[in-house]
Amino acid sequence: MNPVSIDERELLDPVAGHPPAGHPVASPEVAAGVFLSATLRSGADGLDRRWARLDSLLEDLRDAEDRADVIAGRSVTAARTLAAAGGVPIPRISVDDVVVADESHPAVLEADHLVRVRVAELRRRASGQRSTHRAEAVVVGGLTTTVLMVLGWVAAARGGVIPADAISRVQGALAVVAGRDPHPESIGFIWGPFPTLFQGPFVALRSWRPELTSAPLAATTVSAICTGLLIAQLVDWARTSGSPRWARWTVALLTLASPLVLLYGANGMSEACWMVLLVLAVRSLARWAERDDLGGLVLGGAALGAAYLTRYETAASILAAAAFVVVVSAQRRPADDGWTRGTVGPSRSATWRRLRAVVLDLSILAFPVTACVLGWSLVSYVIVGEPLAQLTSDYGNAALVRDGAGAIESIIGDTSVPGRVGFYLRQLLVAAPLLIPVLLVALWLGGRTARRASVAAAVVGSPLVLQILLAGRGDTFPWFRYVVGAVVLSALLAALLSGSGGSAGGSRLLRPLAVLSLVPGLLLSWSVVLDGDLGAGDDRSTVDAVIAGVSGDHLDDSRSVMGRGATVAADLDRIPDVVPGSILTDASSTFSVVSAAADPSVFIIPSDRDFEAVVSDPAVFGVRYVLLKVPASSGDAVVAAHPGLASGQDANFERVESWGDQGDITSEFVLYRVLNPRGEPRPTPDEGFLD
């Protein structure tokens, strides 16, 4: 009989270590085998915990070594500067200048051999670890991207639904690479350019795969890739925090399963692109805080600048990151540098050196951010005459919120300040109910854990605070997707604590509890999305599209902005005199039609450089038709130039056809014929109106 195979729980009382009542007494050999088995298992568990702790200590040791190298370099530089000021020459000694008394001595040869072997071993180990870590990130990111691309294809190409904002960005990318007057400025200045810019290469392939724009797979492809990068970064963040593989993969899976990550990674919206840049900023600034790594500070600033060009709410992250850099930089430099306290001269000198170091670190962070913010504002001012078009334009967010007041009130109910703030706080509690407790635990643990938690809360959490302020002012929409940062921040903190659970400051229960802290938010979020509550109507539509696509159905055009646009575009394509330059429309209202058109050059849109001249007198430029959406979007230039057109009171136009009605989610599209056009449609902008 193999004594190891016997369940020791049947042989020994778990409390007293004696045989349980009524059980035959095992032989001494069996008892000894069981005791040895239990001892070995306990020792293996302890060894596993110590191995995880050793990995964490080695990471800290590498950080300390990097900091020591930096300090040593600064000390040598300071010593040379001081010596040079005193006129004392210091010779530079290289390794080749060092003379060993007897290089052939056996001890010298053995030491040299041992050093070389150890260096080679460390290099091989580091290279192997980097390859393993890189392979893990590639696998996680690749699987995530593949799953979301399939999900996006099912929702868009088969189900027929993706959000209107995603279609709008496809149309913006289309205006840059195709259409009647393609040029870079067509990307627009109302929203950040990066989500649209990233779609450019895919939109350029529309002649090969028309569904990249007609069923905007260009948008879903970009969001899927960005989400894959986001999950890969989350796994790497967990690894560098000391998290075991099972924990970091579980955190990644629970994060991806959240509807605010899963659906918005597949529906072409900008959330995924924004979050991946914010997480990159978090990781870079954490590396700078731990190692005084200048590259981390530069990359963190560049990531924040790129995030601003994705979503303007990043302004809050920039301010919070700047505050974090100031605090860390000030703490890193002692106030008196070893000088005697109470003396005026040295104290002022030390304070000045400390201030100078803080200003230097802050400047390094601010340079790429300032270049992105001011550069984009300057380009906007030069081209459209508004440095902050997202705030001041008739197409901007303020105008959209004003026009959507009725829809906002129907979602929130109580539009008072407490009502709006309370609505947003309920969204936060649903998406991440344990966010605050988990953050407090991470800060309480102190050390490296608190440092990483602080930078994550500053960069990813500050836009959530900004949304609360905007909600109180009534300057934002009540969409559920605006709390996606709470899901990502919770994932970062859970991954961080799952690594701290094996450290001296943690508890054995902390690791599984940290991972399980993501489950309540996951369940509550899906409950809200499936019910379409708390501003999750678009999310419910995406779910319906996926279900319809899987079952082989297609949602009715009255529920699908993309489906209605494709229908209108197909009908327009069948009209004989619809040729390039023959239809005048404002793409801010009719973007779903323009993006689905077989030939987008048939439309004259606001990004065309002769649009203002054409819209003032369409007949002069040979325009045959005018396409409107009723009700039109805020700032629709065609409606502004011809206010009697939509009501049928303009004698220069004749109503020809309409699609849908104003009760549909897609509203109503109406086509008007231009009476008495003069000349032929112009397939390219008239040279006299390009400037």
Tokens of 332: 């890193």
Question: So what's the pLDDT on residue 37?
Answer: 62
For the ranges 380-384, 500-504, 516-520, the maximum mean pLDDT occurs at 516-520
Please tell me the distance from the alpha carbon of residue 309 to that of residue 197, in angstroms, as a whole number.
Answer: 10
Asked if residue 627 belongs to a domain, the reply is yes
Contacts of 119 (CB under 8 A, 6+ apart): none
Chain segment 517-558, per-residue pLDDT in tens: 999 999 999 999 999 999 998 899 899 999 988 888 877 777
**Separation CA 83–CA 89 (nearest Å):** 7
Instruction: Confirm whether 570 is domain-assigned.
Output: yes
**Of 626, 631, 612, which Cα lies nearest the Cα of 686?**
612
Q: What is the mean pLDDT of residues 637-657?
A: 89
Q: How many domains does the chain have?
A: 2
521: tokens are: 């938010």
Q: Over 60: is that where the pLDDT of 448 sits?
A: yes
Reported as a pLDDT band with limits 50, 70 and 90, residue 23 is: very low
Average the pLDDT over 127-132 and give the result: 61
Q: Give the SS3 label for residue 11.
A: coil
Supply 89's token pair: 């020459």
Cα separation values, 550 from 131, 144, 219, 353, 455, Å: 38, 19, 20, 65, 41
Q: Tell me how far apart the alpha carbons of residues 404 and 633 are, in angstroms, rounded to a whole number.
A: 10
Q: Are 216 and 170 in contact (CB under 8 A)?
A: yes
State mean pLDDT over 101-117: 54
| CA dist., res. 555 & res. 541, Å (int) | 9
- Supply the pLDDT for residue 6: 36
Stretch among 4-13, 410-419, 520-529 having the lowest mean pLDDT? 4-13
**DSSP three-state, residue 182:** coil
What pLDDT is recorded for position 273?
A: 97
458 has a pLDDT exceeding 60: yes
What mean pLDDT do residues 80-106 have? 53
Span 450-458, mean pLDDT? 96
Q: For residues 612 and 384, what is the distance between their CA atoms, to the nearest angstrom?
A: 12
Q: Judge whether 5 lies within some domain.
A: yes
- Residue 100, pLDDT > 80, answer no
User: What is the distance between the alpha carbons of residues 649 and 177, in angstroms, rounded to a whole number?
Assistant: 37
Residue 93 has pLDDT above 50, yes or no: no
Provide φ and ψ at 671, rounded to 5°.
-110, 130
Q: H/E/C letters for each residue in 544-570? A: HHHHHHHHCCCCCHHHCHHHHHHHHHH
For residue 185, what pLDDT is reported? 87
Find, among 192, 200, 272, 258, the residue nearest to 229 by Cα.
272
Looking at the predicted structure, is the pLDDT value of residue 310 above 70?
A: yes
User: How much is the average pLDDT of 273-289?
Assistant: 97
Query: Considering just the CA atoms, what is the radius of gyration of the chain in Å?
Result: 32
Coil/strand/helix, residue 653:
strand
Cβ proximity of 161 and 544 under 8 Å: yes
CA–CA gap between residue 568 and residue 656 (Å, rounded): 13
The pair of structure tokens assigned to 125 is: 């180990």
Q: With 50 as the cut, is the pLDDT of residue 15 above it? A: no
125: burial class by Cβ within 10 Å (0-12, 13-18, 19+)? Answer: exposed
| Nearest-angstrom CA–CA distance, 145 and 226 | 8
**Nearest to 631, CA basis, from 645, 618, 612:** 645
Q: What is this structure's pTM?
A: 0.80
Residue 479 three-state SS: coil
- Do residues 499 and 242 lie in contact, with contact meaning Cβ atoms separated by under 8 Å? yes
Distance CA 139, CA 231 (A): 10
Task: Identify which of 246, 236, 244, 335 has the alpha carbon closest to the alpha carbon of residue 286.
Answer: 236
Confidence of residue 634 (pLDDT cuts 50, 70, 90): confident
- Please say which residue of 46, 62, 80 terminates a domain: 46
| Spatial CA neighbour of 499 closest among 51, 53, 134 | 53
Residue carrying structure tokens 């890969």: 232
Tell me if 519 is assigned to some domain.
no
The model's confidence at residue 686, banded by pLDDT at 50, 70 and 90, is confident
Whole-number Å distance between alpha carbons of 235 and 255? 11
**205 close to 212: Cβ distance less than 8 angstroms:** yes
The Cα–Cα gap between 657 and 565 comes to: 14
* Distance between CA atoms of residues 511 and 149, nearest Å: 32
Q: Which two tokens stand for residue 686?
A: 């008239």
Q: Are strands 625-630 and 583-585 parallel, antiparallel or unpaired?
A: parallel
Q: Is the pLDDT of residue 342 over 60?
A: no
Beta bridge partners of 628: 670
Q: Is the pLDDT of residue 604 over 90?
A: yes
C-beta of residue 187 within 8 angstroms of C-beta of residue 583: no
Cα separation values, 560 from 162, 270, 297, 554, 604, Å: 8, 20, 45, 9, 24
- What the block records as the tokens of 349 is 């000198």
The verdict on residue 331 lying in a domain is no
Element (H, E) at 34: helix 28-86
Average pLDDT, the chain: 83
Cβ atoms 283, 233 nearer than 8 A: yes
From the CB of residue 93, how many other CB atoms can be counted at a distance below 10 Å? 8
DSSP structural state of residue 164 = H
Find the helix or strand (DSSP H, E) in which 460 lies.
Answer: helix 447-473
Residue 371 lies in a domain: no
Q: What tokens were used for 226?
A: 């960005």
How distant, in Å, are the alpha carbons of 178, 181, 655, 668 from that of 602? Answer: 11, 11, 19, 20
Q: Does residue 246 lie within any of the structural domains?
A: no
More confident residue, 356 or 646: 356
Structure tokens, 351: 């304070």
Residue 505, Cβ density class (10 Å: 0-12 exposed, 13-18 middle, ≥19 buried):
middle
Cβ density class 298-311: b for 16+ within 10 Å, e for less: bbbbbbbbbbbbbb
What is the pLDDT averaged over residues 671-685?
Answer: 92
Going along 366-524, which residue ranges are E strands?
none
Share of the chain above pLDDT 90, in %: 53
**Residue 631, preceding bond cis, omega within 30 degrees?**
yes
> Per-residue pLDDT for 647 more than 90?
no
Strand partners, 629: 669
The 10 Å Cβ neighbour count of residue 29 is: 10
Domain containing residue 12: 1-46
3-state secondary structure of 511: helix
- 74 assigned to some structural domain: no
Structure tokens at 210: 């028309």
Per-residue pLDDT at 282 exceeds 60: yes
**Beta-bridge partners for 418:** none
Residue 638 sits at the vertex; the CA angle it makes with 634 and 643, to the nearest 5 degrees, is 85
